[in-house]
Structure 1
Amino acid sequence: MLLLGLLPLMLLRGCGCQAADVPEDVTAEFSVRLYHQLQITGGEENIIFSPLSVALALGMVELGARGSSLEEIRQALGYSHFREDEEFSLLSNLTQALSTDEEQYVVRLANSLFLQRGVHFNEDFLQLMKKYFKAELETVDFSESAAVAERINSWVLNHTESKIQNLVSADDFSSSTMIMLVNAVYFRGSWKNQFRPENTRTFSFTKDDGSEVQTLMMYQQGDFYYGEFSDGTTEAGGAYQVLEMVYEGEDMSMMIVLPRQEVPLATLEPIIKAQLLEEWANNVKRQKVEVYLPRFKVEQKIDLRETLQQLGIKNIFTKDADLSAMTAEVTDGQDLFIGKAVQKAYLEVTEEGAEGAAGSGMIALTRTLVLYPQVMADHPFFFVIRNRKTGSILFMGRVMNPEVIEPFDNNFDM
């Protein structure tokens, strides 16, 4: 299993116009609202994004924000009931609790600020960025856009094991760019119960429009956390399945939510709420389950500016933004605003969890004579990658179109 997320926030200068030991993640509701906004604009496409990456990047902006710019971020992220600045300690503790480079799995969180050379930034702001976000600081000349793009993309490659490439281009920068904040989230883990590659076979995946594609379907029978749920209405098409598959170390897991085969995922998605995520996690029971899960690889670049505006974070994207805490002089800060908010995320699911080869051939799978609950993910499903202790959602998304292979293609290398 390999997952990565990047979120750069680019600040522009206007034209002269106007905690606990294991902290809980309080941004789950924001994560779900963000997913629903992406779902509205996503059509029938896959979705993969990192709510944690968005929250951390917005936290960095919040450090430099004042007035309505600050309040919009706090309200959207669910910080309104906190004392002023309390959320920064929470984010810092959360980052520390999540970051690990253990033998079983790896979670790395990295932040960086690229600052326009010659601009006087507030020293307190820079020190707080280091304190709460462990941010690396580097001065560049954004007017040399090609060189800056190369430098930032190099930083991204270095912090995502070369999986996310070309996050930015020279066209993203101009002489008005003053600062760029970049956050990287990297996760690599192996399933506690791994799939055997020799059991992977070509199989049909039925999309919500009724069409079928050929994909590689992994199979195993093992002990997993499983439950069947219903919202009591017809909104979700009745009962649906929730499967939680843990990674080595058991701190991290992937939760898969699967509607009945004849029910489109779009019918289930509206019921997804933060409280329901917690209900699923608390009520799945460990039992023997037959699991059919496609190998899939999803990569997506999302322009988050419009999405965040729909969630109420509007001011920072206008020339009325007050980011005065970032610069040494108030007049400088009032000229800054967020010009771009982009995230690029990558997810790969294989037999071992990190890398794996698959066998070739065709196999007929059947639902008859099943001795144990069967999760047959041969149609679109929703998923969450989360830390089971903190509830932090590292990645969230859906698979509408798995990785497609040509029938009888014997070359299955990823």
Structure 2
Amino acid sequence: MMTALPFLTLLGMFLLMEGVIVVQGQQTIDDAQADFAWNLLEASGPQTQFIVLSPFSISIALAMVYAGAEGNTKTQIGNTIAKGVNNDSALIDYFSSAAEQMDKTTAGFQLNTANKVYIQDKFEILKSFENIIKQKFASEIQQVDFAANRETAELINAWVEKKTNSRIRNLVQPQMLSAQTAMALINAIYFKGDWKTKFNAESTTKKMFHAFENSDREVDMMAITSGFSYAETEDVQVLELPYKDPETFMYVFLPTERFGLRQFEKSMNGEKIMQLMNGCMPRNKIIVELPKFKLDGQLRLNKVLEELGIRDAFDAEKANFDGISKNDSLVVSDVVHKANVEVNEEGSEAAAATGLFMVFRSSRPMPVTPPIRFIADHPFIFTIVSQNRILFIGRFH
């Protein structure tokens, strides 16, 4: 009987889906990716806690694993990150092209993604898998000795830190690695964007934020009155804050009820979130108050991903990664994700990293309207979106 070797996936991020025939396939995967983002947010912790995630970073790491999965293992991964897309090449091509299209650096804007695969010395992977990793995901493959866990953890962490501009540190702990570790797949994403219309730092004042009933705290509240795009329903106000890059925005979802975040989250899904974001229309005058904030988060995503439908990949008896290696049986041992986001008067800076570890098994017209008040003095959800793809999603409480 073949020994099962662990497989490790790492994700790291600061504030960090999917292919027929390009237009139809992309739209389907964009919608599925929005569902994945919202499901991740809900499954990763109670509505009463701060959280920040990069569904895009997590998806790319899982897409790399998907490329080497077979049978039910592959189906479960595909259904989770791109439900309704039954075309292998379309799914892989979506992530490959998305990362390439969004990778850019201009004045006041930087968005970079990077992938890397580390494999145990003398562990043989199939040429077909190697080609996909190198050609589709632009990833280097480096042989290491996972038994030297401290040195290898330092090596991986140095790469992640470099790719995230020092925003993500210590993604991998030495105890996560051992002689049984076969492979680590890493995705890192770094984002820094200036607002198209910056807040004036002199307008930032101390104000109360109503986190819970009978529980207030003081925050640095930024303020601006300007024209922005906006949408609202009976339950939520949605504000679109554009960055200098014309395809990148932050959206803030502020429940109408002061303590209505829990009910709002339960009532939403990816499709509805996309409709709200796409439904924002230009308004000539909005009075905005938004807290400055910095969020850090680190999560072990094994249980979260199992809850979302990826179960066999973590089961030594059921995992099927024969598309990676025919000589050894693999199982995912860990998926870890680290993210950070900072929002201030100038703009936002965010980063994320995801690691997956495998082991051997053992411009529209602007109407003149009355001023709208958007006062974010109670819990809200935010997304950072580029080219209609959710890069980061978080909850400020």
Shared fold, TM over 0.5: yes
Instruction: Name the residue aligned to 2:305.
Output: 308
Which of 335, 347, 352 pairs up with 1:353?
347
Q: Which has the larger radius of gyration?
A: 1
Which of 304, 315, 318 pairs up with 1:318?
315
Tell me how far apart the structure 1 counterparts of residues 343 and 88 of structure 2 sit (CA, whole Å).
40
- On the 8 A contact 2:78/2:85 being kept in 1, the answer is no
Which of 249, 254, 257 pairs up with 2:253?
257
Instruction: Name the residue aligned to 2:9.
Output: 9
| C-alpha deviation, 1:137, in angstroms | 1.2
> Where in structure 2 are the equivalents of 1:90-105 lying within 5 Å?
90-105=94-109
SS in 1 for 2:39: helix
Larger mean CA deviation between 143-152 and 267-276 belongs to: 267-276
Instruction: Name the residue aligned to 1:247.
Output: 243
Q: Could you give the per-residue CA deviations for residues 28-83 of structure 1, whole angstroms, max 9, x where no partner exists? A: 22222222212xx3352111001111111110001111111111111222354332
Structure 1 residue 399 corresponds to structure 2 residue 396: yes
Which of 23, 28, 31 pairs up with 2:34?
28
Instruction: Name the residue aligned to 2:177.
Output: 173
Q: Which residues of structure 2 form unaligned runs of 5+? A: 1-7, 11-18, 350-368
Structure 1 residue 283 corresponds to structure 2 residue 267: no
- On the 8 A contact 1:208/1:264 being kept in 2, the answer is no
| C-alpha deviation, 1:217, in angstroms | 0.4
| C-alpha deviation, 1:86, in angstroms | 2.1
> Where in structure 2 are the equivalents of 1:100-139 lying within 5 Å?
100-139=104-143
| C-alpha deviation, 1:23, in angstroms | 4.5
SS in 2 for 1:167: coil
Tell me how far apart the structure 2 counterparts of residues 63 and 81 of structure 1 sit (CA, whole Å).
14
Instruction: Name the residue aligned to 2:223.
Output: 219
- Give the strand-richer structure, 1 or 2: 2
Q: Could you give the per-residue CA deviations for residues 181-236 of structure 1, whole angstroms, max 9, x where no partner exists? A: 01011111001110001111111111123301111000010111112213xxxxxx
Q: Could you give the per-residue CA deviations for residues 295-347 of structure 1, whole angstroms, max 9, x where no partner exists? A: 000010011100000011011111121111112xx241xx2111000110100
Change (3 A) 1:169 1:228: same
SS in 2 for 1:27: helix
Tell me how far apart the structure 2 counterparts of residues 62 and 249 of structure 1 sit (CA, whole Å).
31
Residue identity (%): 30
Instruction: Name the residue aligned to 1:81.
Output: 85
Tell me how far apart the structure 1 counterparts of residues 290 and 37 of structure 2 sit (CA, whole Å).
25
Tell me how large the CA RMSD over aligned residues is.
1.9
Q: How many residues get paired?
A: 355
Which of 334, 348, 351 pairs up with 1:340?
334
Tell me how far apart the structure 1 counterparts of residues 212 and 238 of structure 2 sit (CA, whole Å).
19
Tell me how far apart the structure 1 counterparts of residues 236 and 52 of structure 2 sit (CA, whole Å).
21
SS in 2 for 1:42: coil
Which of 70, 76, 88 pairs up with 1:72?
76
SS in 2 for 1:322: coil
| C-alpha deviation, 1:276, in angstroms | 1.2
| C-alpha deviation, 1:371, in angstroms | 5.9
Tell me how far apart the structure 2 counterparts of residues 81 and 134 of structure 1 sit (CA, whole Å).
23
Structure 1 residue 192 corresponds to structure 2 residue 186: no
- On the 8 A contact 2:85/2:91 being kept in 1, the answer is no
Tell me how far apart the structure 2 counterparts of residues 309 and 395 of structure 1 sit (CA, whole Å).
21
Tell me how far apart the structure 2 counterparts of residues 62 and 270 of structure 1 sit (CA, whole Å).
29
SS in 2 for 1:325: coil
| C-alpha deviation, 1:285, in angstroms | 1.5
- On the 8 A contact 1:23/1:94 being kept in 2, the answer is no
Tell me how far apart the structure 1 counterparts of residues 83 and 257 of structure 2 sit (CA, whole Å).
39
**What amino acid is the match of 1:99?**
D
Instruction: Name the residue aligned to 1:14.
Output: none
Tell me how far apart the structure 1 counterparts of residues 308 and 206 of structure 2 sit (CA, whole Å).
41
Instruction: Name the residue aligned to 2:372.
Output: 373
Tell me how far apart the structure 2 counterparts of residues 250 and 31 of structure 1 sit (CA, whole Å).
22
Q: Could you give the per-residue CA deviations for residues 91-123 of structure 1, whole angstroms, max 9, x where no partner exists? A: 111112211112241111111101101111112
Q: Which residues of structure 1 form unaligned runs of 5+? A: 1-7, 11-18, 231-238, 356-369, 401-414
Tell me how far apart the structure 2 counterparts of residues 208 and 218 of structure 1 sit (CA, whole Å).
21
- On the 8 A contact 1:302/1:342 being kept in 2, the answer is yes
Tell me how far apart the structure 1 counterparts of residues 342 and 26 of structure 2 sit (CA, whole Å).
28
SS in 2 for 1:85: helix
Q: Could you give the per-residue CA deviations for residues 264-320 of structure 1, whole angstroms, max 9, x where no partner exists? A: 311211122112122212322111101000000001001110000001101111112
Tell me how far apart the structure 1 counterparts of residues 153 and 125 of structure 2 sit (CA, whole Å).
21
